[in-house]
Amino acid sequence: MPAASPGASDQLPAQFFSELEEAFDLAQTQEGIQRVSLRIGRRPLTLEFAGPSLVDLIVPALRHRRVSAPGPGAFTVKVFDSTSTSVTVPPPPWGPNDYLAQGEISGFNTDRFRTAFRVDAGCLSMIDLERRVAVFWIRDPAAFPRWMEAAPLRTLLGWWAAGQGLQMAHGAAVGTGDAGLLITARGGSGKSTSALRCLRDGLLYAGDDYVVVDPIARRVHSVYCTAKADDAAIDGFFPDLRASSHGRIVGDGSNKHVFFLDELYPEQISDLPLTALAVPALTGADTSGFAMSGAADALRALAPTTLFQLAGTGTNDFRLMAELVKTLPVYRLEVSANDGIAATVRRLLETAAGVPA
Amino acid sequence: MSNSERWLRVNQPTIAAEEIEGEVVVVSFDSGHYYSLRDTAADVWRLLDGGVSVGTVMEAFADGVPSVVGAFISALESEGLMVAAQANGKTHTGTIAVGPFSDPKLERFEEMSQMLLYDPIHDVDDTGWPNLPDNAGE
C-alpha cells in the first residue's frame, strides 16, 4: 500500500473531489457552517462543519488544540454527513474491487490526492494536498465509532502531517519540559497504560496512541487529548478515573474506556521535545527499568505498526522513521506493574540527555 | 541464464528497505510482513542492491557455501523482496568487502499482516456506497 501511485492521473480524483465539495457546499448552505480553528505543531487547520451533528463527535479529542482564530494559510477540512443534512454524495466512481487495505481506494491515491473509505463506519476521507483542502464525509453520524471519537480524522491528519514534513506515529509520548520519550510498539504492549501512569505521576503527556513527530525540530506534537484504558488497568492503576469514562470502545476487541484528559489534567497535555525512543516490554519484576537498545529495534517497533495502521503510508514514511531512529537514543523500557514507571522514565530521560546525538 | 549474468533489484514500490547499524529492515507493503537481515544476509542484500550479479554474490564469501547463499537469494525472490533487474553489465574482478560468513537468515515477522486484511465489498446501498456491517456504530 504505497502512499501514492507515481504518475497516476489526477483527473478522476479531481473531478470526484470537486463533486464532494459541491455536496458539502449544499449541506452547509442548508444547515449552516461551524468553524473550529486548530493549531498542531504551529500549523493552522480549520475544521468546517456543515451543521452541528458531527461537532461533538470530532472536536472534543482535538479541543486542546483550539485557537481563537484561523492562522494564515490554514489547511481546511470540510466535514459533513448525509443523514442529518439530507445531502447525498455522488456515487463512488470506483468499483467494488477497488477497496484495498485500510480502505484505500485503488486509482484515487496519487501524488496530489489521497482517498480512503472505512466500511465499518461508512466514512470517506479524501484530501487534495495541492489545494490544501480535505473532506470527511460519513453517511450516518450514528455509525461514528467510539474509537474514532478518541482519534477523530486520524487518516486525514496523517496525510496532512505527511504533507507538512511531519509524521503521524503510532506511539505514546510523555516527558518533561526539557525532554520527551516516544514509546512505540504495536497495540497491546502496554504503551497506553504506561503513558497514563506517567501522566498521573506528574509527567507531561502528548498522547497515548497517535502523535505527530517533527523529525527535523525533534518535537512530538499532541494531536488528541484522549487516553484509553481497559478494566484491568483502571482497577489496577486508576480506579478513581472510572467515573470519568466517556464510554467504552466496542467492536475492536479492546473494550477500553475513553477519557478526555483536558478535563482532568489540562496543564499536563503538551507538545514535547523528542529526546529518546523506547520500546516497552511488560515485566513481572518488582521494579521497572531500562536498558540501551538499538536503532534497528526501534525501527522494527515503530515502522510496521505505523505503516500498516494508517492508510496511505509508504516508502517515504518508512525512510523518515529510519532517519528518526538513527538520531535518537533508543531504550528497552521494562515496565513493572509494581512501582512508579514515571520515576523510571525520568531517569531514562536524564540518561538520554547525556548521550551524544 | 547463468547466475553471473543475472541481477536483482529491490521490488519497489511494494518493498522498502533501510539499513541501520548493519541490520537491513525490509517492509512489504503488499503482505504486511517485515523482515530482519543481519550479518551475511545483510551483506548479500547490500551487494545485490548495489548491482552485483547473483553469481558474484554467491562466490563473494571466501569461507561461505555458494549453494547456501544461492538458496537465500532464491528466498528473497520467492518472498517477492527482490526481482530480476536488467543486466547492468557490471563485472566485479576485485575483492568484495563482506563480513565473516554465517548462514544467511531471512527473519520474517507476520504479526502486522492482519492489518492488511479487508472484507470484500458484497453489498452497496442505492447510492452505490458499501453498506455498513450490522454492528456498525455500536
Question: How do residues A188-238 score in pLDDT, each as one tens digit?
Answer: 778 899 999 999 999 999 999 999 999 999 999 999 999 999 999 999 999
Range of the domain at A146: 11-163
d(Cα A110, Cα A112) in Å, to the nearest integer? 5
Range of the domain at B44: 3-116
* Statement to judge: residues A172 and A303 lie in one domain: yes
* Per-residue pLDDT, A73: 86
Average pLDDT, chain A: 92
d(Cα A46, Cα A129) in Å, to the nearest integer? 15
Question: How do residues A152-185 score in pLDDT, each as one tens digit?
Answer: 999 999 999 999 999 999 999 999 999 999 999 8
d(Cα A238, Cα A253) in Å, to the nearest integer? 21
- Nearest CB among B20, B111, B116 relative to A326 is that of B20
Of residues A3 and A15, which shows the higher confidence score?
A: A15
* Per-residue pLDDT, A344: 96
- Considering the domain boundaries, does residue B68 fall inside one? yes
* Statement to judge: residues A83 and A203 lie in one domain: no
* Statement to judge: residues A120 and A210 lie in one domain: no
The percent of residues in chain B predicted with pLDDT above 90, rounded, is 56
- Considering the domain boundaries, does residue A2 fall inside one? no
d(Cα A120, Cα A253) in Å, to the nearest integer? 14
Cell 568484495 belongs to B96
Q: Average the pLDDT over B4-16 and give the result.
A: 91
- Considering the domain boundaries, does residue A131 fall inside one? yes
Read off the pLDDT band of A187 (50, 70, 90): confident
End position of a domain, from candidates A125, A141, A163: A163
d(Cα A242, Cα A230) in Å, to the nearest integer? 10
The percent of residues in chain A predicted with pLDDT above 70, rounded, is 97
* Per-residue pLDDT, B2: 82
Run of H or E residues at A221? strand A219-221
User: Cβ-count burial of A204 within 10 angstroms (0-12 exposed, 13-18 middle, 19+ buried)?
Assistant: buried
* Statement to judge: residues A197 and A71 lie in one domain: no
Cell 505527530 belongs to A212
Residues of B in contact with A144 (CB under 8 A): 137
Whether the per-residue pLDDT at A332 is higher than 70: the answer is: yes
- Nearest CB among A96, A97, A314 relative to B29 is that of A314
- Nearest CB among A96, A308, A322 relative to B116 is that of A308
- Considering the domain boundaries, does residue A4 fall inside one? no
Q: Report the CATH number that the domain containing residue B32 is assigned in CATH.
A: 3.90.930.60
* Statement to judge: residues A149 and A259 lie in one domain: no
End position of a domain, from candidates A119, A148, A163: A163
B124 contacts chain A (CB < 8 A):
yes
* Statement to judge: residues A236 and A349 lie in one domain: yes
- Considering the domain boundaries, does residue A3 fall inside one? no
* Statement to judge: residues A333 and A316 lie in one domain: yes
Query: What CA–CA distances, in Å, run from A292 to A125, A219, A301, A325, A345?
Result: 40, 21, 15, 13, 13
Tell me the three state secondary structure of residue B65. Answer: coil
* Statement to judge: residues A123 and A78 lie in one domain: yes
- Considering the domain boundaries, does residue B137 fall inside one? no
d(Cα B56, Cα B44) in Å, to the nearest integer? 10
Q: Decide if A197 contacts A337 (C-beta within 8 A).
A: no
A275 contacts chain B (CB < 8 A):
no
End position of a domain, from candidates A120, A142, A163: A163
B116 contacts chain A (CB < 8 A):
yes
* Statement to judge: residues A252 and A123 lie in one domain: no
d(Cα A47, Cα A70) in Å, to the nearest integer? 10
Tell me the three state secondary structure of residue A234. Answer: helix
* Per-residue pLDDT, A170: 92
Of residues A172 and A247, which shows the higher confidence score?
A: A172
Whether the per-residue pLDDT at A63 is higher than 90: the answer is: yes
Q: Average the pLDDT over A297-307 and give the result.
A: 89
Read off the pLDDT band of B98 (50, 70, 90): confident
- Considering the domain boundaries, does residue B126 fall inside one? no
* Statement to judge: residues A147 and A173 lie in one domain: no
* Per-residue pLDDT, B81: 97
d(Cα A130, Cα A110) in Å, to the nearest integer? 11
In chain A, positions 93-112, which contact chain B (CB-CB < 8 Å)? 96-97, 99-103
Residue of chain B with shortest Cα separation from A148? B137
* Statement to judge: residues A192 and A300 lie in one domain: yes
Whether the per-residue pLDDT at B120 is higher than 70: the answer is: no
Residue of chain A with shortest Cα separation from B15? A315
Query: What order of strands is seen across the sheet that includes strand A113-118?
Result: A33-40, A43-50, A75-81, A133-138, A123-128, A113-118
Whether the per-residue pLDDT at A1 is higher than 60: the answer is: no
Query: Are A139 and B129 an interchain contact pair (Cβ–Cβ within 8 Å)?
Result: yes
How many domains would you assign to chain B? 1
Non-local CB neighbours of A336 within 8 Å, separated by 6+ positions: A283, A284, A285, A286, A287, A288, A289
How many domains would you assign to chain A? 2
* Statement to judge: residues A67 and A206 lie in one domain: no
Beta bridge partners of A45: A38, A75
